Amino acid sequence: MRTEEVDLEPDEGEVLTLHARLGLSDDEYRQIIDGLGREPSRSELAMYSVMWSEHCSYKSSRVHLSRFPTEAPWVVVGPGENAGVVDVGEGWLAALRIESHNHPSFVEPHQGAATGVGGIIRDIFTMGARPIALWDSLRFGPLDQPRNRYLFAGVVGGIAAYGNAVGVPTVGGELAFAEHYSDNPLVNVMCLGVLRAEDLVLATSGPPGTIAVLLGAPTGRDGIGGASVLASASFDETSLEKRPSVQVGDPFAEKKLIEACLELYRRKLVVGVQDLGAAGLSCAVSEPVSRSGHGITVDLDRVHTREPDMTAPELLMSESQERMMAFVHPDRVDEVVEVARRWETEASVVGEITSSGNVVVSHGGEVVVDVPARSLTAEAPRYQRPLGEPGWMEDLWSNTVKFVAQPAIATGLLQLLAEPELGSKAWIYEQYDYMLFLNTVVGPGHDATLLRLKGTDRGLALTTDGNGRVCYLDPRRGGARLVWEAALNVAMVGAEPLAVVDNLNFGNPEKPEVMWQFRETVEGISEACEALGVPVVGGNVSFYNETDGLDIYPSPVIGMLGLVEELIWPPPRLDRADAEMAIYLVGNEWAPNLAGSAFEKVTFGHVGGRPTGPDRAAGRAAVIAARRLAEAGTPVLHDVSMGGLALALAEICIASGVGASVAYSDWRFLFSEDPHRFVAVAPAAADHTISAVCSEVGVPFLRIGTMGGDSIVFDRGGVRAAVDLSVAVTAWRTALPEHLRN
Amino acid sequence: MAITRRPEIADPEGATVKKALTDLGYNEVRTVRFDRSIILDLEENDATRARDRAVEMCNRLLVNPVLEEYTVEVET
Amino acid sequence: MAITRRPEIADPEGATVKKALTDLGYNEVRTVRFDRSIILDLEENDATRARDRAVEMCNRLLVNPVLEEYTVEVET
Amino acid sequence: MTKVAVVLFPGTNCELDTAEALSSLGADARIVWHADSDLAEFDGVVLPGGFAHGDYLRTGAIARFSPVMKSVAALAEAGRPVLGICNGFQILCEAGLLPGAFIANRGLSFLCKWVDLEVADQGSMLTSGLQPGTHLRLPLNSYEGNFVAGSTAARVVLTYRDNINGSDHAAAAVANEAGNVVGVMPHPERASADWLGSADGNLLLGSFLQAAS
Ligand SMILES: Nc1ncnc2c1ncn2[C@@H]1O[C@H](COP(=O)(O)OP(=O)(O)O)[C@@H](O)[C@H]1O
Ligand SMILES: [Mg+2]
């Protein structure tokens, strides 16, 4: 044992500070003593420290998360379980969840990201679903710093190594850069699974007498105190000393665990399942029983271990990967063990459900833990943290760029194309297997990924959206805009928005400004979800994303699942534009606003002003129009987001290998990122369809130009700015690789 | 330079290969560990300088201190 | 046992790492080679028997003759 | 109906896709477990892609000792078609049923990418239906896709038009002398329908089934 946080054998007189070293406040320690009516044992203290950590207890966020709309007729399982589950028709359910592995990825990018992938996959197959798709949303500091290049390449390599080997395709992702993430990268991974309605499994313990069987990898001293120490404490120089508790992922073990569990479900051999993630065994034994209102006895001597002489606290806190707790009827235990053996997975009977309501753990023949299960979970501390609007908001809003003259448009566009954040992401997704299972109809590189739902004519669309700049300038508008953007993105491939998962990456919740940003974001997300009629079915909160006192941008990430009832063939794609086709801009006519735009950031290094807020009516209209146009066979649909209309257009030209010419009146119109707008490209003959759909739905549309030629031309009353297509292609293709060169 | 995995860090590969050997009937195998060694051919006559540079390379690139420990040997 | 890649076989790891080191300014690096060693803990007191078994393991599983050469050392 | 075995090793992940593609071509494709299979009843066998035994030690090294490999060797011996796709190719090399071995891609990164291939030799069961020089478009999906021919002469039946992983002879598919055992690094089953981006893989799987029937 190296790090002091996990040195559980303190010298004389240190006992009082032990709880502090485990990340518990003095008040929390007193709360434990009052609850138990005595001093906790070391093992009990270890359990409380991980279960009451921010990461596991959501003690700072729960009060706000209750604001989310979580209900809809198609919701089968909402927030509270390992993943949200929705009905996608014909007897099929989809399980969706997103989770962060930010701090571990900073400590060891490759393994940190890899184990993050393993963790979110477990959350999905715990529900009885076969994981069919992964999606990564990443934030890093600027690539001109070697350390950031190292973190970036390590994280991508880790996701590739684990995701590819475990056999779950990574079908898309999202990437952004900002100084704020330099010492605090964000690694959020979303996983989608599908299952038959009758195969749904919940994380419940079953009645007294049910046997707890620990499946999977042996337990070692991995990530001890990971939850409390890594995910719930801020970074500073000392964080590098926390390294020895790093976990190593074993995709092969996870693959076998997936197949073993799916066989257990198929044969109805388990009552319930809980994965071992943050807080390991402590969480896996206490959460299911407190859900079912029972208790459990656990014998640590039966846990299969990798290292000898592990202490009880170590066994309880270990975050060794690729483990599952199955709750099994006594008569089926032998069959369960047999299935595990066949899949070369270890299984040990470690406990039994009781009616006591207590978690009772023994080690070396003596009882080391005896506490009420609920005291570890439901009765964990909840904080109404003080919150207050930051003093800087007014200044931020008034801090706008005053343009004396029209900037060079061609140069501006080329600069955007050459930004790693906006250029091609092929360098990333070509390292990911995104084709496995033969489901990928529209793959990475589009607004959303479209998967077929095997065995049906249905399709599932996936996307995530985040925008640190806009959320920083206005957390509520920002949070809401992300939901609208995600909805528009799935509509771009013809899907109807169905469910949201969110990953809320924020700074230090003990700062009122950060809690205000958090509350505002949750409010914005909730408003947009209500307006769209889309429920939040799950998510994750990551606080303490700060380094040396600098908080990250408020960085919510919105994951959206969309449903296509009947797959359209061929679906809209960026590469289906052709010479002579007409170009339309569909959506609300805003007074152009560059606040928070990529253009201002890239060309002026400026982040200020107040971004446009969303508009319910315009938002809904845009989503409906997009879906109708997709159904009507429109070859190209692409939403206007980061980089504005100019970039959206350039992306279509690059993908399709053909130029375009568009007319504009106000140049800001080309770069503003105002919401609810998209580009449609269609043969001139389809003009009536476009106008019919748009006027029917009541959404403004404008024919702005025509595809053709070998350059991208912006024309203002005869004054033309042109970017040579081949130059654009090169800038866009090399954006990432160029910046990754040492 | 010889690079060893820190003992407390899980080694799935070693465990898997041990199992494979056992399945092949090599029951005497207690543990299997994989180490890496990196052999650099340096254009550098001064042995101490060579070592210092090598150590620097290990810390900056070649070794992952989170997972590994290393020793450097210089041959002239 | 120490496993070396046959000299005539391409070594992408070595090549890539050499480039990375050069980019970092270590221009003195002429070549980089990655070797692997496998450390077996055997329940076997007889050194010669241990070696024979180890050699057998190499030939059957641990080494691919197309790519690699190996040497076995026994410590008691 | 042509009966084809698709072998499932622990860590394999392309077995369903491969079986699906073969079935859609009219075959009776059965997934068989690596530990308990006698393949005598099958007309042909496919070792699909994935990460058998986690690719630990060397890709394919451990899988080669699975009980099923004895019957795979027997089928090969009997002249029945034996196809290894991606990881399956690597296993066939380790098992000595095909010459050569694999190392990491030039550039050291995993490559999931559409590649253009050219038929170099139609004298194998995989390419028998195709004229030499025919171009095919298939997805590549591997980290150790860099083929090393070694001393024995390899019979290269498909080549990369752009050798992105650095394979000797730009080899994308290699056959044994008899031509009934073939390994292919790109994934024919992933190019088995237009909506997947190409149906060229069916040409290869088609001639495999031809040879099997
Ligand atoms: N930001 C959020 N929005 C909605 N639900 C959330 C959010 N954060 C956490 N949850 C829900 O709280 C439950 C517990 O989360 P967590 O303890 O992280 O699960 P796990 O132990 O599987 O990682 C999950 O169902 C998760 O979906
Ligand atoms: Mg979970």
Whether the CB-CB separation of A659 and A707 falls below 8 Å is answered with yes
Whole-number Cα distances in Å, A312 to A19, A54, A316: 16, 23, 6
Average per-residue pLDDT in chain C?
A: 90
| pLDDT (average), residues A730-737 | 97
Which of A67, A96, A540, A557 is the pocket-test mutation for ligand 1 (most atoms within 8 Å of CB)? Answer: A540
CA atoms within 13 A on the CB side of A369: 33
Number of H helices, E strands in chain A: 25, 28
Which of left, alpha, beta for D96 (phi over 0: left; psi -120 to 50: alpha)?
left
A153–B contact, CB cutoff 8 A? no
Ligand 1 atom closest to the Cα of residue A81 is 25
Under an 8 A CB cutoff, do A741 and C23 touch? yes
The whole-angstrom separation of Cα A118 and Cα A98 is: 12
Q: Are strands A711-716 and B29-42 parallel, antiparallel or unpaired?
A: unpaired
Instruction: Clarify whether D86 is annotated catalytic.
Output: yes
Place of tokens 């989310």: A68
Residue numbers of A annotated as active site: 55, 101
A6 has a pLDDT exceeding 60: no
Helix (H) or strand (E) holding A427: helix A426-429
Q: What pLDDT is attached to residue A639?
A: 98
CA atoms within 13 A on the CB side of A321: 30
Question: Subunits touching A (CB < 8 Å, at least 3 pairs)?
Answer: B, C, D
| pLDDT (average), residues A71-93 | 97
Phi and psi at A256, nearest 5°, equal: -65, -35
Cα–Cα nearest to A451, from A137, A134, A126, A159:
A134
Whole-number Cα distances in Å, B63 to A307, A461, A502, B36, D49: 24, 41, 36, 10, 32
Q: Are strands A295-299 and A358-363 parallel, antiparallel or unpaired?
A: parallel
A233 has a pLDDT exceeding 80: no
Closest-CA distance, B14 to chain D, in angstroms, reads 8
pLDDT band at A230 (very low <50, low <70, confident <90, very high): very low
Q: What pLDDT is attached to residue A3?
A: 29
Q: What pLDDT is attached to residue A390?
A: 96
The angle formed by the CA atoms of residues D31, D37 and D43, to the nearest 5 degrees, is: 65
pLDDT band at A231 (very low <50, low <70, confident <90, very high): very low
Determine which of A3-7, A290-294, A328-332, D21-25 has the lowest per-residue pLDDT on average. Answer: A3-7
Task: Determine the residue of chain D that is closest to C13 in CA distance.
Answer: D108
Which of left, alpha, beta for A199 (phi over 0: left; psi -120 to 50: alpha)?
alpha
**Predicted confidence (pLDDT) per residue in A612-652, tens digit:** 999 999 999 999 999 999 999 999 999 999 999 999 999 99
Whether the CB-CB separation of A433 and A632 falls below 8 Å is answered with no
A8 has a pLDDT exceeding 50: no
For ligand 1, the distance from its centroid to the CA atom of residue D176, given in whole angstroms, is 54
Cα–Cα nearest to A558, from A623, A652, A480:
A480
Which-ligand-closest: CA of A96?
1
| pLDDT (average), residues A94-117 | 95
Residues above pLDDT 90, as percent of chain A: 88
Q: What pLDDT is attached to residue A2?
A: 27
Nearest to A248 among B10, B19, B65 (CB): B10
D146–C contact, CB cutoff 8 A? yes
Whether the CB-CB separation of D3 and D46 falls below 8 Å is answered with no
Provide the chain A residues 337-376 that lie in CB contact (below 8 A) with chain D. Answer: 343-344
Which of D14, D53, D86, D94 is an active site residue?
Answer: D86
Q: What pLDDT is attached to residue A240?
A: 38
Mention every residue, 6+ apart, whose C-beta is less than 8 A from residue B46.
none
**Predicted confidence (pLDDT) per residue in D15-54, tens digit:** 999 999 999 999 999 999 999 889 999 999 999 999 999 9
For ligand 2, the distance from its centroid to the CA atom of residue A123, given in whole angstroms, is 4
Place of tokens 């206005």: A474
Whether the CB-CB separation of A72 and A496 falls below 8 Å is answered with no
Whether the CB-CB separation of D116 and D135 falls below 8 Å is answered with yes
D100–C contact, CB cutoff 8 A? yes
Average per-residue pLDDT in chain A?
A: 93
Whole-number Cα distances in Å, A51 to A124, A297, A355, D5: 21, 18, 22, 48
Determine which of A253-262, A637-646, A673-682, C13-22 has the lowest per-residue pLDDT on average. Answer: C13-22
* DSSP 8-state class, residue C10: -
C60–B contact, CB cutoff 8 A? yes
pLDDT band at A281 (very low <50, low <70, confident <90, very high): very high
Which residue's C-alpha comes closest to atom 14 of ligand 1? A80
A556 has a pLDDT exceeding 50: yes
For ligand 1, the distance from its centroid to the CA atom of residue A56, given in whole angstroms, is 9
Q: What pLDDT is attached to residue A244?
A: 41
Determine which of A232-236, A329-333, B72-76 has the lowest per-residue pLDDT on average. Answer: A232-236
Closest-CA distance, B44 to chain D, in angstroms, reads 28
Provide the chain C residues 6-65 that lie in CB contact (below 8 A) with chain A. Answer: 20, 23-24
Q: What pLDDT is attached to residue A17?
A: 63
H-state helical runs in chain D: 15-24, 68-77, 87-94, 201-212
The whole-angstrom separation of Cα A504 and Cα A500 is: 13
User: Which protein residues touch ligand 1 with a CB less than 6 Å away?
Assistant: A 56, 58, 65, 68, 79-82, 99, 123, 277-278, 502, 504, 536, 538-541
Instruction: Clarify whether D34 is annotated catalytic.
Output: no
Count of beta carbons in the 10 Å neighbourhood of residue B23: 13
Phi and psi at B10, nearest 5°, equal: -60, 145
Provide the chain B residues 16-35 that lie in CB contact (below 8 A) with chain D. Answer: 16-17, 20, 23-24
**Predicted confidence (pLDDT) per residue in C25-58, tens digit:** 898 999 998 888 999 999 989 999 999 999 999 9
Residue ranges of chain D with per-residue pLDDT less than 50? none
A227 has a pLDDT exceeding 90: no
C22 has a pLDDT exceeding 70: yes
| pLDDT (average), residues A189-199 | 97
DSSP E strands: which ranges in A20-129? Answer: 75-77, 84-89, 92-100
| pLDDT (average), residues A218-235 | 64
Phi and psi at B73, nearest 5°, equal: -125, 140
Whether the CB-CB separation of A156 and A143 falls below 8 Å is answered with no
Which residue's C-alpha comes closest to atom 2 of ligand 1? A539
Whether the CB-CB separation of A46 and A22 falls below 8 Å is answered with yes
A255 has a pLDDT exceeding 60: yes
Average per-residue pLDDT in chain B?
A: 90
Closest-CA distance, A322 to chain D, in angstroms, reads 14
Closest-CA distance, C14 to chain B, in angstroms, reads 9
A741–C contact, CB cutoff 8 A? yes
The whole-angstrom separation of Cα D145 and Cα D148 is: 9
Q: What pLDDT is attached to residue A388?
A: 96
Phi and psi at A47, nearest 5°, equal: -65, -50
For ligand 1, the distance from its centroid to the CA atom of residue A677, given in whole angstroms, is 32
The whole-angstrom separation of Cα A579 and Cα A558 is: 36
Place of tokens 């350390």: A147
Q: What pLDDT is attached to residue A16?
A: 45
Nearest to C53 among B28, B41, B42 (CB): B28
Closest-CA distance, B44 to chain C, in angstroms, reads 7
Residues above pLDDT 90, as percent of chain C: 50
Place of tokens 């023949």: A365
pLDDT band at A178 (very low <50, low <70, confident <90, very high): very high
CB contacts, 8 Å: B33 with chain A: none
Nearest to C67 among D57, D103, D108 (CB): D103
DSSP E strands: which ranges in B1-76? Answer: 2-5, 29-42, 68-71
pLDDT band at A201 (very low <50, low <70, confident <90, very high): very high
Under an 8 A CB cutoff, do C12 and D103 touch? yes
For ligand 1, the distance from its centroid to the CA atom of residue A620, given in whole angstroms, is 28
| pLDDT (average), residues A229-258 | 66
A503 has a pLDDT exceeding 70: yes
Nearest to A252 among D51, D111, D193 (CB): D51
Count of beta carbons in the 10 Å neighbourhood of residue C47: 11
Q: What pLDDT is attached to residue A245?
A: 59
**Predicted confidence (pLDDT) per residue in A399-440, tens digit:** 998 888 889 999 999 999 999 999 999 999 999 999 999 999
C48–B contact, CB cutoff 8 A? no
For ligand 1, the distance from its centroid to the CA atom of residue A540, given in whole angstroms, is 5
A14 has a pLDDT exceeding 90: no
Best residue of A243, A321, A345, A742 to probe chain B, by most B CBs closer than 10 Å: A243
Best residue of D55, D58, D163, D169 to probe chain C, by most C CBs closer than 10 Å: D58
The whole-angstrom separation of Cα A96 and Cα A112 is: 21
Q: What pLDDT is attached to residue A238?
A: 43
Cα–Cα nearest to D172, from D111, D73, D85, D95:
D85
Q: What pLDDT is attached to residue A260?
A: 97
For ligand 2, the distance from its centroid to the CA atom of residue A274, given in whole angstroms, is 7
CB contacts, 8 Å: B26 with chain C: 53, 57
The whole-angstrom separation of Cα A229 and Cα A250 is: 23
pLDDT band at A12 (very low <50, low <70, confident <90, very high): very low
Under an 8 A CB cutoff, do B13 and D57 touch? yes
Under an 8 A CB cutoff, do C67 and D57 touch? no
Q: What is the DSSP string of A432-497?
A: S---GGG-EEE-TTSSSEEEE-TTSS-EEEEEEE--HHHHHH-HHHHHHHHHHHHHHHHHTTTPEE
D65–C contact, CB cutoff 8 A? yes
| pLDDT (average), residues A327-352 | 97
Which residue's C-alpha comes closest to atom 22 of ligand 1? A82
**Residues recorded for chain B:** 76
| pLDDT (average), residues B55-60 | 89
Ligand 1 atom closest to the Cα of residue A283 is 21
Whole-number Cα distances in Å, B41 to A412, B38, B60, C12, C69: 47, 10, 18, 16, 20
Whether the CB-CB separation of D160 and D170 falls below 8 Å is answered with yes
A152–D contact, CB cutoff 8 A? no
Q: What pLDDT is attached to residue C7?
A: 86
| pLDDT (average), residues B53-57 | 91
The whole-angstrom separation of Cα A287 and Cα A272 is: 12
Q: What pLDDT is attached to residue A9?
A: 45
